[in-house]
Structure 1
Amino acid sequence: MQNWGIISLVPAVTVIILALITRKTFEALVGGSFIGFVIISYKSSFSDFTNSLLLVMQDAAIGWVILVCGLFGSLIYLLAQSGGTNAFSGYLLKFVKTRKEALLATWLLGLCIFIDDYLNALTVGSSMKKVTDRFNVPREMLAYIVDSTAAPVCVLIPLSTWAIFISGLLESEGVVAQGEGLAGYLQAIPYITYGWVAAFLVPLVAINLIPPLGAMKKAEERAKKGILKPPDSDTISLEIPEYLSDKEPKLSYFVIPILVLICATVYFDIDALRGVITAIAFTVAYFAMSKVMSFAQAMDGVFKGFKTMLYALAIVTMSFVLKDVNDQMGLTPYVIESVSPWLNKEYLPVIAFVSLALITFATGSFWGVYAISLPVIIPLAQSMGVDIWLAIGSVISAGAFGSHACFYGDATILSASATECNNVAHVVTQLPYTLIAGGITCIIYLILGHTI
């Protein structure tokens, strides 16, 4: 495996430093990626950078991400335009009477929408703002809870896009027979420790058993003055329009389209793209027939909603460019080679989790890291006599950590967009909680590595 050694860390470290200094993610990604291409070949760095952009835009994976995220933005826009989002928030406010109840309601809603982390982040974030705003909850706290029930919950549910993808990898690696991927995935779920810890840390934060820490404490103090959003949040915010109809908005305008979305996604074998296209087609027809809005107004909302996602999509797209330069510099092989001398039966789970968690945090690549690392970790576990499902669980946990903690991870960007929260502020304020969850996960893997 060819790599640039420790120099391969430079692009990712540059991105993190620039993001912390400027509080701007897109610009930080451009800077870090370009520096990587300069290191590879300063003479052709600009053409290499532009070629990488073109290759990323031609990739089927980024095309899928752009369509899914953009169309989710369209659907959320339609729900807001119909008044359905307000009706849903108003309905919850009849039962939610305290701050703690508002935070717990957000957590419970996140647990229910487990099909896809994109769907989870955008739906829960956009629908719960009005509820948490009533109790002066800072947007950073809302974004933390939303993000904590995205990837960390999706990896625990066999009927999710994450589970379907990983199940395919298990079949391709021969861990299970063809067609038995999900059955195998079920055996790994008890060992996806980070998902369990991160998801169930949230209610402890909600009821203040774990108090606001670090930057979150400052956000709470600011929110007490009535300033709920951190600075520079407008750029990434998912625009929520005023509803068009003179009619009283109905709860069904929110609930029915979301149910159609979930059912269609499941029907199409957990394909979020087909699910959201079906849901939009249904919603446009449903609202037109219900005279909530005209067909022309609904279609206009589809395009406006897609447009509100452009900045978030630009960040996600640029994160793929960073992934490209990291791959060319061999970041993942370098980290794996660096930790391999320390691997043994007892420490394989925790070392796999820590090393791959750092890679996913630095690169913003989660499914890609799974595809690279599982073919390495699985035979290592088999040769060392490590429980195969424990080893696989540690790898899956690492991806969930990266998705949860990375500045420019897709679920992080969408959680920030849906909650109207600067994504750097979101990541910095939730970092103490992700580190707590990561630390507990390490301890559990140490114990399991010595006992199983």
Structure 2
Amino acid sequence: MEATAISLIPPLIVILLVIATRRVVISISAGIIAGAFILCNFQPGETVEAVVGSASRIFYTAGNWNTDNILLVLFILGLGMLTAYIDKNGGTIGFARWAQKRVKNAAMAQLLAVVLGIIIFIDDYFNALTVGEVSRSLTDRYKVSREKLAYIIDSTSAPVCSICPLSSWGAYIIALFAVILPGTAAPLNQFIGTIPYNFYAIFSLAVVLISAIWNINLGRMNDASSIQSDVKPLDDTHEKHASDLVMPISILVVVSVGTMYITGRIFSGSRNIFEILQYASTYLSLCAGCAAGLGWAVYRYWHFHGKELFSTAFSGIKKVAGATTALLFAWVLIDIIGMLEPGAYLSGLLIEYQISSQLLPCLLFLFSAVMALATGFSWGVFGIMLPISVQMASSLGVRDTMLYCCLGAVLSGAVFGDHCSPISDTTILSSTGAQCVHIDHVVSQLPYAIFSAAVAAAGFLVMGFTGSLGAAFLLQTGILAVVTLLFLTKRRHRSSLWLSRSAVDL
């Protein structure tokens, strides 16, 4: 099917319905039906076949099982069971008690989540679910909403992975550079060259760090109230130990990373760490790590609660069932949207109209963001827009520094759009990791994401007109500093007024 403006209708339907109804699965279902109707020229019989075909391709494509998707679903379900066993073992309470002696307030609890998110840079899925599991009990303790935790998780998963060469994202982008920029610098050097220009990733990390340190809550985050204490009281027949959380999570991390290395070595036949990461079986590694951590947790749980072993596992699966369902529906929608090719339509517009080299970085950023928002798939945007950015930069005579800026603009835009998209798998998994309502997470993080994107866009405009990275960073840092100071001053003024009124009332 030829890509036209009508290809944008299904993602727009989903976004509008999600905002209006706050029902993610229903909204995605409407987008699936609308997309299938458009794809099949409004023929009911063919529409049903298209939906069934897309659903079947989640797990089985062209005579082969889609093992990546199968393993990811198993990983999510396994992590749900692991969470339930950790809770029942008292690991959550034990870790909270241990952390109380070191983490004294909400800011420190949020900072811990930020630091963990930066440290766990290997994979965005791994990051989202692991950081949520480790941090949740502590942020609950200090009355940090689950929406704020989900925002922290989301802002330290894809942004960190997109600027780290030693990650699944880095390996994928480096592999793309090897194809679209042959005969130039080594792909790794090209990737490193884009890092200073990945403005959205850099400043979204800066914004989440500032919001954690000063406990800044914008927009709907002020109203976020999902501070949970839904874990059933445990019996006191044994002490609660932090090790019952730390050990299974540590085992999960170590075994996952180890399996990535082993599978990467086997499939690449190389000792080069970047080739190993490129060929590593990420999803198999995550499942192996989860199975190992789950095995430890089951052993600990069996020792104390053997009779409840299966009921606890089932309760863990139920906790992640909603997120898993949303992810499955999102995959169907992404498949249908992929056949409608909204990305090809948008990129065609960018090529069709004569674009000045000064505006090119900013426009690449905006187009990539819209594409990722519409498709919920940042890696697909990388595959479409990175070659186009090289093609357009070459046609406009853009070289060296500005070429890296154009590539960084695509990476930034894709991460921003993915960050805001309600159908993005990383956004869904961030909600899962924090165990909050998905649409609440999407809506409440928008002010932070949009502000970071505005700062990034300003930087790309400065780069386009001056070619100076220093000038761009100076402007961006100035905007961030001024807005932060204005917010803190306004909050301090409100606190002073409240204290004055309280004194008068007394």
Mark yes or no: TM-score above 0.5. Answer: yes
- Larger mean CA deviation between 168-177 and 43-52 belongs to 168-177
Task: Give 3-state SS (helix, strand or coil) of 1:388's partner.
Answer: helix
Q: After superposition, what is the alpha-carbon deviation per residue over 1:393-427, rounded to whole angstroms, capped at 9, x for unaligned?
A: 22221222123211121121122122222111111
Tell me by how many angstroms 1:306 deviates: 4.6
Aligned counterparts of 1:175 and 1:300: Cα–Cα separation in 2: 55
Tell me by how many angstroms 1:93 deviates: 1.9
How many residue pairs get matched?
Answer: 435
Query: Percent identity among equivalent residues?
Result: 29
Cα distance change on mapping 1:79 and 1:33 into 2, 3 Å? same
* Residue in 1 that maps onto 2:337: 326
- Larger mean CA deviation between 406-415 and 319-328 belongs to 319-328
* Residue in 2 that maps onto 1:362: 374
Asked whether the 8 Å contact 1:89–1:131 carries over to 2, the reply is yes
**Pairs within 5 Å for 1:253-402:** 253-267=244-258, 268-269=260-261, 270=277, 271-287=281-297, 293=303, 305-306=316-317, 308-340=319-351, 341-384=353-396, 385-386=398-399, 387-402=402-417
Q: TM-score, normalised by structure 1?
A: 0.86
Asked whether the 8 Å contact 1:62–1:317 carries over to 2, the reply is no
**Pairs within 5 Å for 1:71-86:** 71-86=78-93
**Residue 193, structure 1, aligned to residue 194, structure 2:** no
Aligned counterparts of 2:294 and 2:5: Cα–Cα separation in 1: 52
* Residue in 2 that maps onto 1:46: 48
Asked whether the 8 Å contact 1:188–1:389 carries over to 2, the reply is yes
Tell me by how many angstroms 1:369 deviates: 1.7
Structure 1: which 5+ runs fail to align?
none
Q: Which has the higher contact order (CA 8 A, sep 6+)?
A: 1
Cα distance change on mapping 1:258 and 1:11 into 2, 3 Å? same
Q: 2:162 aligns with which of 155, 158, 176?
A: 155
* Residue in 2 that maps onto 1:12: 11
Task: Give 3-state SS (helix, strand or coil) of 1:250's partner.
Answer: coil
**Pairs within 5 Å for 1:241-252:** 246-252=237-243
AA at the equivalent of 1:421: C
- Larger mean CA deviation between 283-292 and 396-405 belongs to 283-292
Aligned counterparts of 1:332 and 1:198: Cα–Cα separation in 2: 24
Tell me by how many angstroms 1:240 deviates: 6.2
Aligned counterparts of 2:86 and 2:251: Cα–Cα separation in 1: 13
Cα distance change on mapping 1:64 and 1:283 into 2, 3 Å? closer
Tell me by how many angstroms 1:297 deviates: 7.0
Task: Give 3-state SS (helix, strand or coil) of 1:374's partner.
Answer: helix
Tell me by how many angstroms 1:130 deviates: 2.4
Tell me by how many angstroms 1:355 deviates: 0.5
* Residue in 1 that maps onto 2:117: 110
Q: After superposition, what is the alpha-carbon deviation per residue over 1:199-249, rounded to whole angstroms, capped at 9, x for unaligned?
A: 11012222448x433222233xxx4xxx636xxxx9xxxx96777994323
Tell me by how many angstroms 1:171 deviates: 2.0
Tell me by how many angstroms 1:253 deviates: 2.9
Q: 1:217 aligns with which of 219, 222, 225?
A: 222
Tell me by how many angstroms 1:126 deviates: 2.8
Q: After superposition, what is the alpha-carbon deviation per residue over 1:71-99, rounded to whole angstroms, capped at 9, x for unaligned?
A: 33344344334333332232222222222
Task: Give 3-state SS (helix, strand or coil) of 1:45's partner.
Answer: helix
Tell me by how many angstroms 1:172 deviates: 2.9
Task: Give 3-state SS (helix, strand or coil) of 1:56's partner.
Answer: coil
Tell me by how many angstroms 1:68 deviates: 3.6
* Residue in 1 that maps onto 2:148: 141
Tell me by how many angstroms 1:194 deviates: 0.8
* Residue in 1 that maps onto 2:470: none
Asked whether the 8 Å contact 2:393–2:403 carries over to 1, the reply is yes
**Residue 427, structure 1, aligned to residue 442, structure 2:** yes
Q: After superposition, what is the alpha-carbon deviation per residue over 1:173-209, rounded to whole angstroms, capped at 9, x for unaligned?
A: 344789x544432222222111111111012222448
Asked whether the 8 Å contact 1:191–1:393 carries over to 2, the reply is yes
AA at the equivalent of 1:280: C
Cα distance change on mapping 1:348 and 1:298 into 2, 3 Å? farther
Aligned counterparts of 2:348 and 2:16: Cα–Cα separation in 1: 25
Cα distance change on mapping 1:42 and 1:257 into 2, 3 Å? same
Tell me by how many angstroms 1:169 deviates: 1.6
* Residue in 1 that maps onto 2:70: 63
Q: After superposition, what is the alpha-carbon deviation per residue over 1:6-31, rounded to whole angstroms, capped at 9, x for unaligned?
A: 21111011001111121111110010
Q: TM-score, normalised by structure 2?
A: 0.78
Task: Give 3-state SS (helix, strand or coil) of 2:209's partner.
Answer: helix
Asked whether the 8 Å contact 2:416–2:453 carries over to 1, the reply is yes
Asked whether the 8 Å contact 1:82–1:245 carries over to 2, the reply is no
Aligned counterparts of 2:287 and 2:339: Cα–Cα separation in 1: 35
AA at the equivalent of 2:460: Y
Cα distance change on mapping 1:155 and 1:398 into 2, 3 Å? same
Aligned counterparts of 2:191 and 2:143: Cα–Cα separation in 1: 40
Asked whether the 8 Å contact 1:262–1:275 carries over to 2, the reply is no
Q: After superposition, what is the alpha-carbon deviation per residue over 1:117-175, rounded to whole angstroms, capped at 9, x for unaligned?
A: 22222222233232222332222222211211111122122222211222222223344
AA at the equivalent of 1:45: T
Task: Give 3-state SS (helix, strand or coil) of 2:217's partner.
Answer: coil
Asked whether the 8 Å contact 2:133–2:433 carries over to 1, the reply is yes
Task: Give 3-state SS (helix, strand or coil) of 2:356's partner.
Answer: coil
Aligned counterparts of 1:257 and 1:134: Cα–Cα separation in 2: 21
**Residue 92, structure 1, aligned to residue 94, structure 2:** no
**Residue 128, structure 1, aligned to residue 135, structure 2:** yes
**Residue 25, structure 1, aligned to residue 28, structure 2:** no
Aligned counterparts of 2:233 and 2:202: Cα–Cα separation in 1: 38
Q: After superposition, what is the alpha-carbon deviation per residue over 1:366-392, rounded to whole angstroms, capped at 9, x for unaligned?
A: 112212222222232233324332222
Q: Which has the larger radius of gyration?
A: 2
Q: 1:403 aligns with which of 418, 422, 425?
A: 418
Tell me by how many angstroms 1:362 deviates: 1.6
Task: Give 3-state SS (helix, strand or coil) of 2:223's partner.
Answer: helix
